[in-house]
Amino acid sequence: MSAGASETHYRRGLNRRHREWLAAALFVAPDALGLLVFLGVPMVLALGLGFFEVTGFGGIAFAGLDNYKKMFVDPLFLDSLKVTVTYVVGFVVGVFVVSLGLALLVQQKIPFVGFFRSMFFLPHVVSLVVVGLVWQFMLTDGVGVVNQVLEAVGIGGRSWLGDPQFALATVVLVSIWFFMGYYMIIFLAGLQEIPREYYDAAKIDGARSWQLFRHITWPLLKPTSFFVLLVSTITGVAGLQAFDLIYVMTKGGPANSTSLGIFYIYQQAFQFNDYGYAAAMSSFLVLLLLAATALMFVLTKGGRFETE
Amino acid sequence: MISSAFKGPDEVNSVNLIPSAPTLDNFRYVFTEVPFLRYMLNSLFVATTVTVAALWFHSMAAYALARLRFPGRDVLFFAIFSTLLVALPIILVPLFILVRELGMLDSYVGLIVPAIFNAFGIFLLRQFYLGMPQELEDAAFVDGCGYWGVYWHVILPLSRPILAALAVFFFLANWNSFLWPLTITQNQDLWMIQVAISSFQTQYAGAWNYIMAAATVAAIPTMALFFVFQRQLVESIKTSGFK
Amino acid sequence: MKGIEKLGREETGGISRRRFLARGAAFAFAAAVTGPGLTVLSGCGGGSGSGALKFWQFYGPGGEVEAQGKWFEDAVKGWNQGHDTKIELQYIPVTEYLNGSKLQTAFSSNEGPDLFIISPGDFLRYYNGGVLQDLTPYIEDEARNDLYPNVMATREVEGKIFGIPMEVEPMAMYYSVKAFEDAGLSEADIPETWDQLLDVAGRLKKGNTFGLLFDTNPGYYQNFTWYPFMWQGGGDAVAPSGNESAFDSKGAVQALQFWQDAIESGVAPRKALGTGANDIVANLAQGHAAIQNCGIWAVAALEANAPDFEYGTFKLPLPPGGEYTTDLGGWAFVANSKGQNPEEAGRFCAWALASMSESSIGRGVDWIAGADSTVAPRKSVQRQAEQQGAFDEGPMKFFREEAFPGGRGEPRYTPEVYKAVSDAIQAVQLDGQSAQGQADAAAEKIDTFLQTYDGARIV
């Protein structure tokens, strides 16, 4: 593309630093512009609606901070925040441990490793609607496969999706199951990046596998781990997948026990036509996420871990 | 799912794993009653185009963000990153209006272009490029390569494993995307596969046997793709410059 | 490529280059001032195409009952043959139509369809949004008198008609004949009271089969199926005056308690299969429950997908001293008053479903007794379907003669009222909360809302 050509053109007139700036600008430009137009601008517009009362049929009126005030006295929103936090913590921790474990497992030279990788990734291949439906069968009250299996260990007969005590935990587990193959692949790619020589050298020194993990894998995997933590947190809070899964499996029930923030926001916007309120609530969620990620970026020096 | 795809409508929701009277009728229905093949081709075309364009743009941007030094780099990266924080449903209405004003409603362009831009890929690639050894780049500069040359001859080949993984992700995400294609298409000829699958549901009863058959058919290409690429993911390590 | 062609055509036909640039500028402006900018943008889009009127509905090519999609096609074909303004059917997958974002996104950006269908639960949302066209001028007096007043009540505001129903769908109970026989029960055991129902359900619960199924998914549909139990005891979500809630009443409290008892006694599952308790094939026919609370459409669904399944029907049982009533659902044609040509769209609604012409009546009959199985919203259609023998026997006869009389139209509560009631049902039914406490809380929420509500009357 033009990056190379323009760069040669300017090469004589610019010093190395400026050439680097220009090259960077050209490299970043297509994505930056696209993101600005197709995400940045709609984002600003959408979140700006938080200061308005919007009917969804063209009616709009300035509302100041009304939507924001309403938000903090709306018990349904506050409850949905609690549900979100529980969901995200359970999901992020669970998916991190499981997918890292799987990645370490399937990078070994064991027979049929390709088959195992595919098996773990399989859940992610099917659309969420179908995933939700299949789990609904398996979790059927009393008689589903899951209950039949659990019967054997004496804790069967529960309604995993119909009881507010268990529904959220069930949804967390299904989410982990759905995403584990996905993050496994990312970890796998991260693991492949670690030069094999490090391990070979350590092995000669007589290191055990736990020590290899502790002193080589873990530190060198940090950029990947950082990515997985951050992205899975965002997926949990604002991801379409969490929303879809809730939608198919529980519709926010029973008794709002799985009503995630994103679900409640969607309901307000598209079923109750209160865009302004939905925008105010999403702004709040975005701010929370922004604060959390900014903190992580600062702590990790922009995800570079330069001190390591 | 696969078992259900072979069950009749009166049995599909029952818990037995093996259909009592396996049937191919569901598949026949899926392919004959609606132009399912056309929907698959639409998805194939859109998902492939998005994947190729996205990999190219994202790897360029990520290279600059990870390996080049320029003022405001971290701020720019954080701004790009922050577009991940808002879910599609929230921005659906303004995005729809924008795309309409650009004249892209009800067209392949409208299906493809907005789907390309996604900070996820940039972020992932950046994390990988951060960890690459500097020596290879330096060697290329010594050989007289410009930045483009370094990107093209050094960075891209080195990032083949992660690009393979990303290709699977992007293809899959677009193959399975539902909300956006549904929102901007009215012409049924432009339907993508997930929209078509959801059309097998009726008001009071999902035709689950058809849905399962359709979903099984839809999962075949993605599974095949994954199988090929996961091999690539491992194979390419052997040829890369790391060892 | 097709997409490019299309793009080109739209630009040359619809938007000139200068206008395009002007819109670009408007957009930049919009980005700066956010909210108001959005209205600037949406202000210029509506009705830009001069093509056919768009008719959005959810009976499509992949549909389970083929005749339903065809009925819509035939209606539109019939209109297009005799009129200059053409109509084009556009099909939206049903889950998306019911709970999705596609309609809302379209309306928010002034791209709403010219014609669409709505249920009573959605009526006020669209009416108060100002997008429903008054259809009264297009309906002859004779046809107006032909429509049942109790069915029309939820589609009228101040004596004007804003939607024309295509069907009337009463709720009742379905039971599996085989399950009854296996439990040693006969027709004589068919329950008439709530207590009897729980008792019979207890005797039917066996192995993998629950005795009784009420809906468990939160949503408009669950509320819809629960209302009759509240009404039977004289309760109501909004009092007839329209100014206050009547939810903290005995009728509502005992209905909440009843649904809780069904769950806590273990005779009813906490989760339905398939799409929910509206899905009869996935639940009753496949043995998840032996008795299911469902609507008249289940007759057609069973015939299409479980033709060998033997079932019976009975009226909703009553609480002590209760008065029989059921809920009458059903969808209606409406026209978008902000569409390309609201008048022609309005004329189409009247022509299709509310004209005294033979074809209009025949169309009604085809729907209620052919494509679907429902009661008619009009006397003439009902009469003709009965003459053809559609209600002579079996479940249809039951619905016409027993379930339907005394039925009440599905209420058109606003989202705020819906949500308050829904939360109460869910908390009592599935979370073991106190019925009285939840009823009081919901009544308070509804009262607070009604104090500031200024849309069309709710009841």
CA distance A301 to chain C (A): 32
Which residues partner with C329 through β-bridges?
A: C169
- Say what percent of chain B tops pLDDT 90: 26
Q: Are C331 and C220 in contact (CB under 8 A)?
A: no
DSSP string, B207-233: -HHHHHHHHHHHHHHHHHHHHHHHHHH
Give the mean model confidence (pLDDT) for residues A94-117. 86
Per-residue pLDDT band for C6 (boundaries 50, 70, 90) equals very low
Give how far B178 is from chain C: nearest CA, Å.
10
Q: Is residue C14 situated within a structural domain?
A: no
Domain range for B71 is 1-240
Chain C from 420 to 439: CB within 8 A of any A CB: 423, 426-427, 429-431, 433
Q: What is the pLDDT of residue A13?
A: 55
Q: How far apart are CA A181 and CA A122, in angstroms?
A: 7
Query: What distance in Å separates residue A222's CA from the closest CA in chain C?
Result: 38
Name the residue with higher pLDDT: B138 or A261.
Answer: A261
CB contact under 8 A, B205 and C275: yes
- Residues 240-279, chain A, touching B (beta carbon < 8 A): 240, 243, 262, 265-266, 269-270, 275, 278-279
Given this model, what pLDDT does residue C413 score?
Answer: 93
Is pLDDT above 70 for C37? Answer: no
C61 and B33 within 8 Å at the Cβ level: the answer is yes
C289 chain-A contacts, CB cut-off 8 A: none
Confidence category of residue C24, pLDDT binned at 50, 70, 90: very low
pLDDT above 50 for A133: yes
Q: Which residue of A has its CA nearest to B172?
A: A125
CB A238 within 8 A of CB A258: no
Are C203 and C267 in contact, with CB atoms under 8 Å apart?
Answer: no
Per the model's pLDDT, the better-predicted residue between C254 and A143 turns out to be: C254
Interface test with C, best of B25, B46, B97 (most C CBs within 10 A): B97
Please check the confidence at residue A177 and state whether its pLDDT lies above 80: yes
Residue C91: what pLDDT?
87
Decide if A40 is inside a domain.
Answer: no
Mean pLDDT over A244-273 rounds to 89
CATH code for the domain in which residue C162 is found: 3.40.190.10
Query: What is the end-to-end Cα distance of chain B in Å, rounded?
Result: 42
Residue whose token pair is 């009247």:
C350
C350 touches chain B (CB under 8 A): no
Q: What percent of chain B has pLDDT over 70?
A: 84
The pLDDT-based confidence of B201 (bands split at 50, 70, 90) is low
C1 in a domain, yes or no?
Answer: no
Mutation for testing the A interface, residue in C270, C279, C416, C434 having most A CBs under 10 Å: C270
Picking from A282, A290, A289, A288, the residue whose alpha carbon sits closest to that of residue A42 is A282
Q: Which helix (H) or strand (E) holds C164?
A: strand C164-165
Q: How far is CA A273 from CA A56, A72, A121, C125, C305, in A?
A: 5, 20, 38, 8, 36
User: Among C314, C19, C31, C310, which Cα is nearest to C179's?
Assistant: C310
Total CB pairs under 8 A between chain A and C: 131
Query: Are the beta carbons of C306 and B10 separated by less than 8 Å?
Result: yes
When computed from its CA atoms, the radius of gyration of chain C, rounded to whole angstroms, is 24
Residues in A closer than 8 angstroms to B178, CB to CB, are 127
Q: How many CB pairs under 8 A join B and C?
A: 149
pLDDT of amino acid C327: 94
Using the predicted structure, report yes or no on whether residue C47 has a pLDDT greater than 70: no
- CB-CB: which of C105, C208, C281 is closest to B93? C105
Q: Count Cα atoms within 13 angstroms, Cβ side, for B84.
A: 23
The DSSP element (H or E) to which C311 belongs, if any, is: strand C311-314
Residue A137: C-alpha distances to residues A132, B3, B176, C142, C260 (Å): 9, 12, 22, 52, 24
Task: Give whole-number Cα distances, C376 to C136, C370, C396, in Å.
Answer: 20, 12, 12
Chain C residues whose CB is inside 8 A of the A42 CB are none
**Amino acid B217: pLDDT:** 85
Higher pLDDT, B25 or C144: C144
Question: Which residues in chain A are contacts of B152 at CB distance < 8 A?
Answer: 4
Q: Which CATH number fits the domain that encloses residue B108?
A: 1.10.3720.10
Q: Which residues contact B131 (CB under 8 A, 6 or more apart)?
A: A193, A220, A223
> Is pLDDT above 90 for C310?
yes
Q: Does B147 touch chain C (CB under 8 A)?
A: no
Examine residue A171 and state whether it is found in any structural domain, yes or no.
yes
B5 band by pLDDT with thresholds 50, 70 and 90: low
Of C170, C147, C177, nearest to C375 by C-alpha is: C170
CB contact under 8 A, A60 and C39: yes
A149 contacts chain B (CB < 8 A): no
Our count of domains for chain B comes to 1
**φ and ψ of C175, to 5 deg:** -135, 155
- In this prediction, residue C18 carries a pLDDT of 45
Question: CA–CA separation, B62 vs B155, rounded Å?
Answer: 10
User: Residue C35 pLDDT more than 70?
Assistant: no
Which are the contacts of B101, defined by CB distance < 8 A and separation ≥ 6? C23, C24, C27, C41, C45
pLDDT one-digit tens code per residue, C336-354: 999 999 999 999 999 999 9
- Give me the mean pLDDT over the A256-261 stretch: 93
Average pLDDT along chain A: 85
Residue A4 has pLDDT above 50, yes or no: no
Task: Check CB contact of B213 with chain C, cutoff 8 Å.
Answer: no
pLDDT at B21: 65
pLDDT for the residue B134: 82
Closest by Cα among C312, C323, C221, C209 to C268: C209
* C294 and C207 assigned to the same domain: yes
pLDDT value, residue C335: 97
- Note the pLDDT of residue C17: 43
Q: Report whether pLDDT(B30) > 80.
A: no
Q: Across-strand partners of C116?
A: C56, C334
Sequence-ordered list of residues with C-beta below 8 angstroms from that of A184, at least 6 positions apart, any chain: A99, A102, A103, A106, A117, A120, A121
More confident residue, C24 or C110: C110
CB within 8 Å of chain B, chain C residues 270-329: 273-275, 278-283, 285-288, 295, 297-298, 301, 305-306, 308-309
Instruction: Kindly report the average pLDDT of chain C as a whole number.
Output: 87
Q: How many angstroms separate the CA atoms of C186 and C390, rounded?
A: 27
Tokens 């084009």 found at: C88
Chain-chain contact of C426 with A255 (C-beta, under 8 angstroms): yes
Q: Which of C38, C64, C114 is the best mutation test for B, with the most CBs of B within 10 A?
A: C64
The per-residue pLDDT for A242 is 83
Query: Would you say residue C30 has pLDDT above 70?
Result: no
Q: Which of residues 20-79 of C touch B (CB under 8 A)?
A: 20, 23-24, 27, 38, 41-42, 45, 54, 58-65, 68
Query: How is residue A287 written in tokens?
Result: 């701010």
Rounded to whole angstroms, the Cα distance separating B232 from C8 reads 40
pLDDT at residue number A89: 95
Distance of CA A57 to the CA centre of its chain: 33
CATH of the domain at A209: 1.10.3720.10
- Is the model's pLDDT at C15 over the cut of 50? no
> Kindly report the CA angle at C439 between C232 and C216, in degrees rounded to 5?
75
pLDDT at B29 over 80: no
- When divided into structural domains, chain C yields a total of 2
Contacts of A270 in chain C (CB under 8 A): 99-101, 104-105
Using the predicted structure, report yes or no on whether residue A294 has a pLDDT greater than 80: yes
Which of C38, C271, C428, C444 to mutate against chain A (most A CBs within 10 Å)?
C271
- Using CA coordinates, name the residue in chain C closest to B107: C3
Question: Per-residue pLDDT for C13 more than 50?
Answer: no
Residues spanned by the domain of A196: 65-302
* Beta bridge mates, C332: C118, C165
Residues of B in contact with A275 (CB under 8 A): 93
Kindly list the distances between the CA atom of residue B111 and the CA atoms of A121, C14, C97, C327, in Å, as whole numbers in the listed order: 26, 20, 20, 42
Asked if the C-beta of B14 comes within 8 angstroms of chain C's C-beta atoms, the answer is: yes
| Domain range for C299 | 169-328+411-450
Element housing A245 (H / E): helix A240-249
C363-402 confidence digits (pLDDT tens): 999 999 888 889 999 999 999 999 999 999 899 999 999 9
Per-residue pLDDT averaged across B210-227, rounded? 83
pLDDT of residue B13: 57
Task: Convert A126-139 to b/e letters by CB count within 10 Å (16 or more is b).
Answer: bbbbbbbbbbbbbb
Name which of A129, A227, A278 is nearest B198 (Cβ-Cβ). A129
Q: Nearest C-alpha of chain A: how many angstroms from B189?
A: 21
Instruction: Give the pLDDT confidence of C223-252 residue by residue, as tens digits.
Output: 999 999 999 999 999 999 888 999 999 999
Distance CA B225, CA A124 (A): 13
**So what's the pLDDT on residue B215?**
83
Q: Is A204 exposed, middle or buried (0-12, 13-18, 19+ CB in 10 A)?
A: exposed
- Please give the Cα distance from A274 to A55 (Å, whole number): 6
* pLDDT greater than 80 at residue C284: yes
- Out of A260-274, C63-77, C101-115, C228-242, least confident range: C63-77
A186 vs B: CB within 8 A:
yes
Mean pLDDT over the full length of chain B: 82
Interface test with A, best of B73, B81, B86, B197 (most A CBs within 10 A): B86
Reduced to 3 states (helix: H, G, I; strand: E, B; else coil), residue A34 is helix
| Structure tokens that stand for B60 in this block | 């360029």
| CA atoms of B191 and B219, how far apart (whole Å) | 17
Among the ranges given (A125-134, A274-283, C400-409), the one the predictor scored with the smallest mean pLDDT: A125-134
Mutate to test the interface with B, among A1, A7, A18, A28 (most CBs of B within 10 A): A28
CA–CA dist C189, C186 (Å, integer): 6
Bigger pLDDT: C92 or B22? Answer: C92
Is B97–C11 a contact, with Cβ atoms under 8 angstroms apart?
no
